[in-house]
Chain A
């Protein structure tokens, strides 16, 4: 059995030390992780890291990936550099990639209303979840959505429809052992007067990962900071719940380095 990859600060903040995978017992249910980023610091690397973690050979998790932003080839290229072959995972049925950029997807070209499109999309996700759980040894499903603001565009600007869809996806975490990871952009909503989509997502999420630039400005060896707020409600083990972690990161060619402020030599 190959050694588990060393856990990074990001992994520790999500699960507590010495845990390389998400909680896999069905009783624990799943949780929702919200990644918030902005133009200066893109949070895409967090999504890639989490995707790679879910598809690691040490877990039997299955991923359903909803992409509103990029086609499959984009992620395939990036994850390949990180040492993970998405095409193989897709063939092994461990990854289900739903490319929302394709117009024929769910009959959007046939003049269906946005609501019907999203209902059908939810149907596909639930079907995938039920199917995967029927296989032996497969206990946990992760649904990744990249990203919510583009999903809102797809919903013709109806944030209510987006929230309804996310509510239904979230309800899967209660019923099945399912986790939800979404990416959203902070600055897209900064001009709104009324409390917007972002706040509602923050209430819904169990873990909020904020990716921001450093308060001191640009730097060559530190690209930004991550703040992980783990709300965590009722958990028997109480690993890293009700905790806030903050650390810096540096994006390298094929990986990302995480370190505490000031510890970079």
Chain B
């Protein structure tokens, strides 16, 4: 699913259509959003570097992490930092977002203003002016193509930081303007859900065409903190999470996909959702002194049980079923007998089970069908 998202962002939007926009959401309980952001950034970088993408480059608006961090990220993925400036531009809103450093340099209190990174960055000194930010992004985007008309991808490090400095309507307007701009091929951003009210996150969700949420695999129970189970869950949530993607398609349908993500030393890994649900179910079962689970053998035996209404007296002496006959023998017999009797006028009760999971205590009374 993560690959699917990356491909969608790579392919960009059609002519006259809004650019696909991805919002990456996480919470403090499972703060893996920045890892996912880095992963998507790296994937798109490789597509763009190999010129397999609709866009010519990426403009990254760095608010919560420094340009130096991104330089190291690119290096670790094998990109040459020096030549990357042809396809990777950073709008640095991290080093001096409110102009404090500039004021201090002017008054002579401090010396340097550099971001410390060798990547070419444009420093933004007033992150509260979103119109200025918008034009800076477009300006950087124009530099990515020769004629200034090529398309580019925009990545916003953290919209949560942006929301702290400005109002929701202005941020929504910025995202909307970016999405509808001809030259923006695709757009993605990071948002921390619990830092904002629900109406704010809902408003931003409307701006996006894809929503990727990272949730803890198992919600930690509100128990005593020193509880070792709680601690191991907390630790697990720092490394693993459930990756839920919600996509709005062009025809209006909404598609949901789930994956499991884990952060390892080599990077981030996405795997299909395993039977962790079993683990959840097990942890929800109350701890009592008798066994409420079924073993594999018990499950097989249960599947083999022939229920009383599934067979008639087939000409043989009616045996009270004592649970030892296997299902296969009876099925073969049933087919045989139904072929024989198909043109006789004898009444038959043919029972087809609705589903194998039908609980014994369901509404129908199975004894209604007995022909004893």
User: Measured between alpha carbons, how far is A203 from B103 in the docked complex, in Å?
Assistant: 28
- CB neighbours (8 Å) of A229 from chain B are 234, 238
Q: Which of B92-100, B143-151, B211-219, B292-300 makes up part of the contact surface?
A: B92-100
Q: Mark B234-265, 1 if CB is under 8 A from A, else 0.
A: 11001100000000000000000000000101
- Report how many residues on chain B are interfacial, defined by Cβ distance under 8 Å: 44
Whether A199 contacts B111 in the complex (CB less than 8 A), given A119-B104, A215-B224, comes out as no
Contact present for B234 and A244 (CB under 8 Å) = yes
| Cα(A210)–Cα(B104), bound, Å | 35
Given A203-B192, A229-B238: A171 and B109 within 8 A (CB)? no
Count, A-B residue pairs, CB within 8 A: 93
B203 to chain A, nearest CB (A): 16
Q: B226 and A195: CB pair below 8 A?
A: no
Given contacts A123-B109, A174-B68, A203-B31, contact A194 B197 (CB under 8 A): yes
Distance A126 CA – B115 CA, assembled complex (angstroms) = 14
Within 8 A of A (CB), among B295-354: none
A171, B103: Cβ atoms closer than 8 Å: no
* Max chain B C-beta neighbours (<10 A), residue from A163, A171, A195, A243: A171
Smallest Cβ distance from A89 to chain B, in angstroms? 24
Cβ-based interface call for A42 (8 A): no
CA distance A122 to B104 in the complex (A): 9
Whether B66 lies near A171 (C-beta < 8 A) is yes
Contact A174 B116 (CB under 8 A): yes
Residues from chain B with a CB closer than 8 A to the CB of A242 are: 235, 238-239, 263
Q: Which residue of chain B lies nearest to A227 when distances are taken between CB atoms in the complex?
A: B225
Distance in angstroms from B198 CB to nearest chain A CB is 11
A2 to B34, CA, bound (A): 43
Please name all residues of chain A whose beta carbon is closer than 8 Å to the beta carbon of B34 when the two chains form the complex: 233
Q: Which residues of B contact A243 (CB under 8 A)?
A: 235, 238
A160 within 8 A of B: yes
Bound form: Cα–Cα A17–B111 in Å: 38
Q: A130-B111, A203-B192, A215-B224 are in contact. Are A174 and B238 (CB under 8 A)?
A: no
Question: Taking A231-B31, A231-B238 as contacts, is the C-beta distance between A175 and B116 under 8 angstroms?
Answer: yes
B239 to A, closest residue via Cβ? A242
Q: Is A85 an interface residue (CB 8 A)?
A: no
Q: Mark B148-177, 1 if CB is under 8 A from A, else 0.
A: 000000000000100011000000000000
Chain A residues within an 8 Å CB radius of B207 = none
Q: What's the minimum C-beta distance from A64 to chain B, rounded to whole angstroms?
A: 14
The answer on a CB contact under 8 Å between B100 and A122 is yes
Check B31–A246 contact: CB distance below 8 A: no
- Assuming the contacts A225-B226, A234-B72, asked whether A199 and B28 have C-beta atoms less than 8 A apart, the reply is yes
> How far is A215 from B111 in the complex, measured between Cα atoms in Å?
50
- Cβ-based interface call for A214 (8 A): yes
Q: Mark A145-156, 1 if CB is under 8 A from B, else 0.
A: 000000000000
Within 8 A of B (CB), among A141-179: 160, 163-164, 167-168, 171, 174-175
CB-defined contacts of A163 to chain B, threshold 8 Å: 164
* Those of A15-46 within 8 Å (CB) of chain B: none
A122: chain B residues at CB < 8 Å are 100, 104
Smallest CB separation, B115 vs chain A (Å): 7
Q: Is the CB of A174 within 8 A of B66?
A: yes
- Is the C-beta of A77 less than 8 angstroms from some C-beta in chain B? no
B76: chain A residues within 8 A (beta carbon):
234
Does chain B have a CB within 8 A of A238? yes
Known: A231-B238, A238-B265. A203 touches B28 (CB 8 A): yes
Specify which chain A residues have a CB less than 8 angstroms from the CB of B194 in the assembled complex: 195, 199
B104-A244 in contact (CB<8A): no
Tell whether A61 is near chain B: CB-to-CB under 8 Å. no
Indicate with 1 or 0, residue by residue over B68-96, a CB within 8 angstroms of chain A CB atoms. Answer: 11001100100000000000000000110
Beta-carbon contacts under 8 Å, B173-213 to A: 192, 194-197
The reply to whether A127 and B95 contact each other, CB–CB distance below 8 Å, is: no
How far, in whole Å, are A124 and B164 apart by their CA atoms in the complex? 25
A12 CB-CB contact with B under 8 Å? no
- Nearest-Cβ distance from residue B199 to partner chain A, whole angstroms: 12
**A 221-246 to B, binary, CB cutoff 8 A, 1 in contact else 0:** 00001010101011000100011101
User: What's the minimum C-beta distance from A54 to chain B, rounded to whole angstroms?
Assistant: 23
Q: Chain B contacts of A160 at CB under 8 A?
A: 164-165
The answer, among B72, B110, B232, for a CB contact under 8 Å with A123, is B110
Q: Are B195 and A119 in contact (CB under 8 A)?
A: no
Tell me how far the C-beta of B101 lies from the nearest C-beta in chain A, rounded to whole angstroms.
8
Q: Give the CA-CA distance A174 to B94 in the complex, in Å.
A: 10
Q: Is B231 an interface residue when CB atoms closer than 8 A count as contact? A: yes
Q: Are A195 and B196 in contact, with the CB atoms below 8 A?
A: yes
- Find out whether the CB atom of B68 lies under 8 angstroms from the CB atom of A126: no
B289 within 8 A of A: no
> With an 8 A cutoff between CB atoms, is B135 at the interface?
no
Kindly state the separation between the CA atoms of A123 and B102 in the bound complex, as whole angstroms: 11
Whether a CB of chain A sits under 8 angstroms from the CB of B355 is no
Least CB separation from B35: chain A residue: A233
How far apart sit A122 and B194, CA to CA, in the bound complex (Å)?
29
Inter-chain CA distance A130–B114, complex, in Å, is 13
Interface status of A202 (Cβ within 8 A of chain B):
yes
Determine how close the nearest CB of chain B comes to the CB of A197; give it in whole angstroms.
Answer: 11
| 7 closest cross-chain pairs (CB), A and B | A215-B224, A174-B66, A123-B109, A244-B235, A123-B104, A175-B116, A242-B238
A200-B195, A244-B234 given; 18 more Cβ-contact pairs under 8 Å: A119-B100, A120-B109, A123-B109, A126-B110, A127-B109, A160-B165, A175-B95, A175-B116, A195-B194, A195-B196, A199-B195, A203-B195, A212-B225, A215-B225, A233-B34, A243-B238, A244-B235, A246-B226
What are 19 A-B contacts with C-beta separation under 8 Å? A119-B103, A122-B100, A126-B110, A160-B164, A160-B165, A163-B164, A164-B100, A171-B94, A174-B69, A175-B95, A194-B197, A200-B164, A203-B28, A225-B226, A229-B238, A238-B265, A243-B238, A244-B231, A261-B226
